[in-house]
């Protein structure tokens, strides 16, 4: 799998790498490749190198990033021909002394706004189209729930991997069908759709199947499977789409029925009243000795899951 | 803003690059992408062959059997045999890979079971038997194509 290489942290990157960035100026319409030489350090990521370029060499370089730890999914870009998260890709993983050149391009299949910055508007429209949230027939109960929707451990484990998607767009950039059909829902949206179709708490599965049953839906997939290979969170959208197609195949023949719809947990038989809260602490004197406050340690008392911070100057 | 203001750039590889280049997205250990490209190319070859086949077999209806006999004599050459050899290879790969795709896409078989991610973080699809089927296709294809070649070129 691309994106997680536990040995990368133990490798030493080349002292200086050449970062080749595919740039684009939206005003003049000019496209060009630009090279930067960057001194590296151990553990340096491609995002670190790009930020170093932006800080020290070229302030005009544009990219999107946020968390720097592979959680937000903002810094997806094509690194040495592979869609990857720049913050998760170490220099040592993609370059060595023999070949110290790293090419960085904006994600394929997304409109480029500038340099490495891509437009996700259409991508998120497709995400919204599959209604990625629970829908129950009893809408009043859903708005004002009386209990929790029950779900067995096995049912959760079956769909857990599909819940890990961070919508980074790498799968969409790797997809050969998205490279041809701009209206194709894409592996990310179809993965989400499948995740809710098989969710035992969801009751809108027929509506979701109708969304997938479209010329730009799951039938457009050709099972090249690159989406699953580039996913940084080991979500398996290729499998999700194939399973969605087999569900649709059975559904069209009238053979598919959702196995079960989860119930709602009953209210507990006996409510255990919580211990009454401690009376509000009041200072001995209205004048707080702040110097004493800084010197003396803080006492923490834990009472029935409620934590109160008190200082010795309080009673 | 001399050229009409800022505008986004389309960044889609397009039909030919996506359909013909299995290394458009470089991913190691990924034979499915190669199979996708081969399946698409062989599919186009089969469609072109079928169109030509319909035209040729329709010849007696609109030009008579004499024209048919003449056409068959003309087709009896090495270039036609090479064409048949390519078509045979296409049909063999497309058919065998098609069985794998039917099993996975229509019946949801050979895909493995979804499971929470765990080391070594290989998606279940690629540990499932569909990949073994694909390797079997890649192994059988040249053997059967070779046998077809022996029949087409009259060696056997």
Residue of B nearest to A239 (CA): B125
| Token pair belonging to B140 | 């059988």
Rounded to 5°, the CA angle B84-B90-B93 comes to 140
Cα torsion through A124, A126, A132, A137, rounded to 10: 140
Residues A140 and A112 in one domain: no
Cβ of residue B23 closer than 8 Å to a chain A Cβ:
yes
Cβ of residue B15 closer than 8 Å to a chain A Cβ:
yes
Whether the model clears a pTM of 0.80, i.e. scores above it, the answer is yes
Q: Count of domains in chain A?
A: 3
The residues with which A149 forms a beta bridge, in sequence order, are: A264
Distance in angstroms (rounded) separating the CA atoms of residues A225 and A236: 9
Whether B123 sits inside 8 A of A231 (CB atoms) is yes
CB A177 within 8 A of CB A82: no
DSSP A219: G
Residues A131 and A231 in one domain: yes
Mutation to test the B interface, candidates A94, A236, A248, A251, most B Cβ within 10 Å: A236
Q: Which of A67, A100, A118 is the last residue of a domain?
A: A118
Distance in angstroms (rounded) separating the CA atoms of residues A27 and B11: 16
Nearest to B108 among A112, A119, A242 (CB): A242
Q: What is the pLDDT along chain A (315 residues), one digit of tens a residue?
A: 565 566 666 788 899 999 999 999 999 999 999 999 999 998 899 999 999 999 999 999 999 999 999 999 999 999 999 999 999 999 999 999 999 999 999 999 999 999 999 999 999 999 999 999 999 888 888 888 778 888 888 889 999 999 999 999 999 999 999 999 999 999 999 999 999 999 999 989 999 999 999 999 999 999 999 999 999 999 999 999 999 999 999 999 999 888 777 778 877 666 666 666 666 655 555 566 666 666 665 555 555 555 555 555 544
The minimum CA-CA distance between B99 and chain A, rounded to whole Å, is: 13
pLDDT for residue B92 = 97
Q: Which of A93, A118, A143 is the last residue of a domain?
A: A118
Distance in angstroms (rounded) separating the CA atoms of residues A114 and A123: 17
Residues A127 and A239 in one domain: yes
CB A154 within 8 A of CB A231: no
Distance in angstroms (rounded) separating the CA atoms of residues A293 and B145: 87
CATH of the domain at A182: 1.10.1060.10
Residues A86 and A128 in one domain: no
Q: Which of A118, A140, A157 is the last residue of a domain?
A: A118
Dump pLDDT digits (tens) for B19-44. 999 999 999 889 999 999 999 999 99
Domain presence at residue A206: yes
The parent domain of residue A289 ranges over: 275-315
The minimum CA-CA distance between A156 and chain B, rounded to whole Å, is: 9
Residues A60 and A80 in one domain: yes
Domain presence at residue A102: yes
Domain presence at residue A298: yes
Cβ of residue B13 closer than 8 Å to a chain A Cβ:
yes
Domain presence at residue A18: yes
Cα torsion through A260, A265, A269, A273, rounded to 10: 170
| Token pair belonging to A64 | 């999107």
Domain presence at residue A270: no
Cβ of residue B114 closer than 8 Å to a chain A Cβ:
yes
The minimum CA-CA distance between A225 and chain B, rounded to whole Å, is: 6
Whether A164 sits inside 8 A of B117 (CB atoms) is yes
Dump pLDDT digits (tens) for B61-101. 888 899 889 888 888 889 999 999 999 999 999 999 999 99
Residues A126 and A231 in one domain: yes
CATH of the domain at A59: 3.10.20.30
Residues A301 and A184 in one domain: no
Whether B1 sits inside 8 A of A26 (CB atoms) is no
pLDDT for residue A292 = 65
Residues A104 and A134 in one domain: no
Nearest to B106 among A2, A229, A249 (CB): A249
Distance in angstroms (rounded) separating the CA atoms of residues A73 and A232: 9
Domains of chain B: 32-152 (1.20.1300.10)
Distance in angstroms (rounded) separating the CA atoms of residues A216 and A188: 14
Residues A126 and A113 in one domain: no
Residues A248 and A280 in one domain: no
Within a 10 A sphere around the Cβ of A113, how many other Cβ atoms? 20
Cβ of residue B58 closer than 8 Å to a chain A Cβ:
no
Sheet hosting strand A16-24, strand order edge to edge: A31-39, A16-24, A101-105, A76-79, A82-85
Distance in angstroms (rounded) separating the CA atoms of residues B130 and A239: 11
Whether A223 sits inside 8 A of B104 (CB atoms) is yes
Domain presence at residue A258: no
ipTM: 0.89
Which burial class, exposed, middle or buried, applies to A184 when counting CB atoms under 10 A from its CB (0-12, 13-18, 19+)?
buried
Residues A156 and A90 in one domain: no
Domain presence at residue A48: yes
Domain presence at residue A198: yes
CB A6 within 8 A of CB A86: no
């Amino acid at each position: 799998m691309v994106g997680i290489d536990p040995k990368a942290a133990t490798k030493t990157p080349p002292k200086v790498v050449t970062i080749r960035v595919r740039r684009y100026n939206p005003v003049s319409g000019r496209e060009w490749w630009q090279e930067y030489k960057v001194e590296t350090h151990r553990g340096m990521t491609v995002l670190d190198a790009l930020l170093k370029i932006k800080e020290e060499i070229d302030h005009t370089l544009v990219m999107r990033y946020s968390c720097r730890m592979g959680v937000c999914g903002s810094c997806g870009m094509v690194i040495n021909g592979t869609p990857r998260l720049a913050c998760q890709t170490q220099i040592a993983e993609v370059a060595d002394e023999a070949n110290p050149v790293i090419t960085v391009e904006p994600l394929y299949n997304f409109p480029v706004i500038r340099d490495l910055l891509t437009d996700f508007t259409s991508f998120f429209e497709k995400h919204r189209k599959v209604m990625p949230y629970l829908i129950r027939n009893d809408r009043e109960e859903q708005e004002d729930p009386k209990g929790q929707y029950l779900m067995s451990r096995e049912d959760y484990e079956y769909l857990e991997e599909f819940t890990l998607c961070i919508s980074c767009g790498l799968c969409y950039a790797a997809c050969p069908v998205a490279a041809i059909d701009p209206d194709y829902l894409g592996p990310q949206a179809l993965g989400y759709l499948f995740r809710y179709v098989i969710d035992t708490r969801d009751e809108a599965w027929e509506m979701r199947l109708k969304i997938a049953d479209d010329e730009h839906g799951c039938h457009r997939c050709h099972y090249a499977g690159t989406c699953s290979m580039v996913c940084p969170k080991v979500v398996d959208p290729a499998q999700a789409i194939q399973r969605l197609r087999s569900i649709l195949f059975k559904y069209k023949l009238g053979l598919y029925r959702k196995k079960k719809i989860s119930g709602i947990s009953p209210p507990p038989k006996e409510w255990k009243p919580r211990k009454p809260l401690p009376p509000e602490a009041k200072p001995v004197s209205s004048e707080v000795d702040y110097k004493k406050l800084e010197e003396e340690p803080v006492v923490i008392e834990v009472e029935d899951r409620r934590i109160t911070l008190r200082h010795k100057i309080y009673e | 803003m001399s050229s009409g203001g800022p505008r986004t750039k389309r960044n889609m590889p397009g039909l030919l690059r996506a359909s013909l280049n299995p290394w458009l997205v470089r991913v190691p250990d990924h034979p499915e992408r190669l199979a996708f490209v081969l399946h698409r190319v062989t599919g186009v070859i089969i469609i072109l062959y079928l169109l030509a086949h319909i035209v040729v077999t329709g010849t007696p209806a609109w030009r008579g059997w004499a024209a048919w006999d003449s056409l068959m004599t003309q087709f009896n050459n090495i270039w036609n045999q090479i064409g048949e050899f390519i078509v045979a290879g296409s049909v063999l790969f497309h058919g065998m890979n098609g069985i794998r795709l039917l099993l996975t896409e229509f019946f949801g078989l050979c895909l493995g079971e979804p499971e929470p991610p765990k080391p070594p973080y290989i998606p279940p699809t690629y540990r499932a038997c569909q990949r073994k089927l694909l390797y079997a296709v890649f192994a059988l294809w040249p053997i059967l194509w070779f046998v077809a070649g022996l029949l087409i070129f009259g060696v056997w």
